[in-house]
Structure 1
Amino acid sequence: MAQFRNFRMVNYVVYGRGSFNQLDEILAPQRKGDAPMIFFVDEYFQDQQEFLSRIPLRGKDKIVIIDVTYEPKTSGVDKLRDDLKAEFGTVSGIIGIGGGSVMDTAKAVALMMTNPGSSVDYQGWDLVKVPGVYKAGIPTIAGTGAEVSRTCVLTGPTRKLGMNSDFTTFDQIVLDPELCKTVPANQRFYTAMDCFIHCVESLNGTYLNAFSQSYGEKAQVLCEEVFLDKDVWDDECDEKLVMASYAGGMSIAYSQVGVAHAVSYGLAYVLGTKHGIGNCIVFDKLEEYYPEGVEKFKRMVEKHKIEIPQGITKGLTEEQFESMISVSLGMKPLWENALGKDWESIMTREKLRALYERL
């Protein structure tokens, strides 16, 4: 008899333009005595007092600005946990307001407030055994799907890998398209393409099933409506992208991503390449694996006059190439989804090296 994954979903979802204004009443029942709510806020907003003033601070609540120059590191997560424990002992919850890096940081720190050791110990699948403190995710840019995923991707001393567990998902998410209106066009594109690309990978993968297909097809259509059919950016575009991100995240909950994500993990580990742009750099060269998706992607790039960096692996050392290849090949479920059970005989170190050299 087949074993079906019984996966955890976000407990509560509020969607709508202006729904961020309900945050105070949403958090009220989750407060535990005088233990504070901690708001992790994307550094993009650090000088935007008008926005910061909308965050409902009560009692000892605190805003912590999160540096997103690099994607979350295990060392950074452990330090945030240690700082909060030293200052407050315990907290009522962690609220992540920003892009995927901020939401992943919020998920990881919420878990580390209650689990012993270092976040390094939990990089992998189902290693987290204790629920974290309450956590809520509020995306201010659409595409990563971090708001619904059961992972928080971290770069550790030896690898880039998520804390994948049923305890990782948010307890609450607030999907307010209004929060996305100030995103710079390039950044918006790279992050939205994370959604488009993981839909292409899911829909073309060996793990595909009707659940993943239903969400993935809708998310991909929404991305195409926004980036291929529309000529002027408007409120409807933000609304569609927020829902594409949500549906895209749901589509990979019961399947997996593929070649672009597996290869971009290596880039991120060695070069610090951010996830959205890294996926774009890789996907641009994947006609062999996703011909139809890459053709649409190239049309989107051209239409929106987006620059995809080229030649980023020129001049890398042998050691750097070997490190990228090892990190990438470590993403076994991604490769199996993309290429099937005998993927190791298809994606050899030599073939992957040649792909990295083209980037």
Structure 2
Amino acid sequence: MKYRNFPMVPRVIFGNGSFAQLGEIIMPKRKNSEAPFIFLIDAVFEGKALVTEIPLLFNDQIVFISADEEPKTQQVDALVKLIKETYNELPSGIIGIGGGTLLDLAKAVAIMLTNSGSSSEYQGWDLVKKPAIYHVGIPTISGTGAEVSRTTVLMGPEKKLGINSDFTPFDQVVLDPDLTLGVPKEQWFYTGMDCYIHCIESLNGTFLNAFSQSYGEKALELCHEVYLNDISMAESRDKLMMASWHGGMSIAYSQVGVAHAMSYGLSYLLGVKHGIGNCLVFQHLEEFYPDGVKVFKQMQKKHQIQLPTGICANLSDEQFDLMINVSFGLVPLWENALGANWQEIMTYDRLLALFRKI
């Protein structure tokens, strides 16, 4: 048996206020005064204090990007085109500041600055041939695991699928719990549940091994502390940030499962954001994850989160068909969830019945 030699984030800094050290962290990576750092920042921070703390030098550039929609391949391609047309040489690096959308965009742009063609051509596993330029991830919300994963999930013209490669992970991550201050309650819950569901799917998957289990169990323990126990907000921010890190690591040698596969289909067709999409699906998956769904509903009740209903009520047969085909395209997720014979277990009609519940 040949084992995968997975990359990990080589450098990470953790601590309240650690964002202030970004300037000294990236200084040695500056190639010259003409090779800027490009900061891709969630548009929610435009005009906010965070922007004044960005360590801009020379011709560094800030690009504000709305995180209202899932990141798209055409968005990546447009950013790469803009950067190449604006500067005479490759930037010193790309720095993503925000939630999963901004982190995934930063990873994808860093990859596509050195690889030809459209980013849609690299949606899949191990299709990237050349190393990305230096890239840094700075999460401002916790849960997605995008800061540590080897994938960058993108909405393409034909599918929602990540660029999964050894060149995807960040070279540097800054984990500053202070940056998650002010996250709206619903978003805090949905994104945190992305981490929780990562763990449930990883720990109950057929790909499970001691590596994945050790990270997944710790992340799950932290999620329980944050969403079931009564702890201070400061402690909650610290623990959820580390739960996200461990949750992302738990699927490095494993995979996610049914909820994520279905959520991708839901997102591709209807544009449902990833975190809430996972919650919409997961609540109906008792037959696959009975204990996990039970605890999820306890968390939902404790924090008084009302999930929207009737999302799929008025879809046509053609729309259901598209959503199901996108979901079925995520073969590794189904194999992890249900085993090699997953197609015998999850039939078209069975998946259709699940989607109709949402």
Normalising to structure 1: TM-score of the pair? 0.98
Name the structure 2 match of 1:14: 13
Aligned position for 2:173: 173
Residue equivalent to 2:126: 126
Q: d(CA) in 2 for partners of 1:292 and 1:279?
A: 16
Q: 2-side partners of 1:358 and 1:47: how far apart? A: 42
Whole-angstrom CA distance in 2 between matches of 1:47 and 1:18: 20
Q: What is the rounded CA distance, in whole Å, between the counterparts of 2:57 and 2:232 in structure 1?
A: 37
> Which aligned pairs between 1:52-63 and structure 2 lie closer than 5 A?
52-63=51-62
**Gapped runs of 5+ residues in structure 1?**
none
Secondary structure class of the residue paired with 2:108: helix
**C-alpha distance in 2, partners of 1:191/1:234?**
16
CA distance in 2: counterparts of 1:246 and 1:15, whole angstroms? 11
Superposed displacement of residue 69, structure 1: 1.5
SS of 1:96 mapped into structure 2: strand
Q: How does 1:17-166 map to 2 (within 5 A)?
A: 17-34=16-33, 35-48=35-48, 50-89=49-88, 90-166=90-166
Counterparts of 1:328 and 1:233 in 2: how far apart (Å)?
39
Rounded to whole Å, the distance in 1 between the matches of 2:289 and 2:42 is: 33
Number of equivalences? 356
SS in 1 for 2:186: helix
Distance 2:216 2:44 in 1: 30
What secondary structure, in the 3-state scheme, does the structure 1 residue paired with 2:20 have?
Answer: helix
Query: Shift of the alpha carbon at 1:47?
Result: 2.7
Give the Cα separation in 2 of the matches to 1:339 and 1:168. 27
Q: Distance in 2 between matches of 1:43 and 1:274?
A: 17
After TM superposition, the score normalised by the length of structure 2 is 0.98
Identity fraction in percent: 60
- Aligned to 1:102, the other structure's residue is in SS state helix
Alpha-carbon distance in 2 for matches of 1:162, 1:85: 23
Encode CA deviations 1:272-308: one digit per residue, 9 max, x unaligned: 0000000000001111110000000000000001111
Partner of 1:333: 332
Tell me how far 1:152 sits from its aligned partner. 0.2
What is the Cα deviation at residue 162 of structure 1? Answer: 0.5
**Hey, what's the Cα distance between the residues in 2 that align with 1:46 and 1:315?**
37
Secondary structure at 1:13's aligned position in 2?
strand
| 1:356 aligned partner | 355
RMSD: 0.7
Q: Give the Cα–Cα distance (whole angstroms) in 2 for the partners of residues 199 and 282 of structure 1.
A: 15
Range 38-47 or range 92-101, more displaced = 38-47
Residue of structure 1 in register with 2:248 after alignment: 249
Residue equivalent to 2:3: 4
Residue in 1 that maps onto 2:197: 197
- Counterpart Cα distance in 2 of 1:343 and 1:208: 16
State the match for 2:287 in structure 1: 288
In the TM superposition, residue 233 of structure 1 has moved relative to its aligned partner by 4.5
Q: How much does 1:181 deviate?
A: 1.3
The 2-side partners of 1:236 and 1:349 are apart by 44
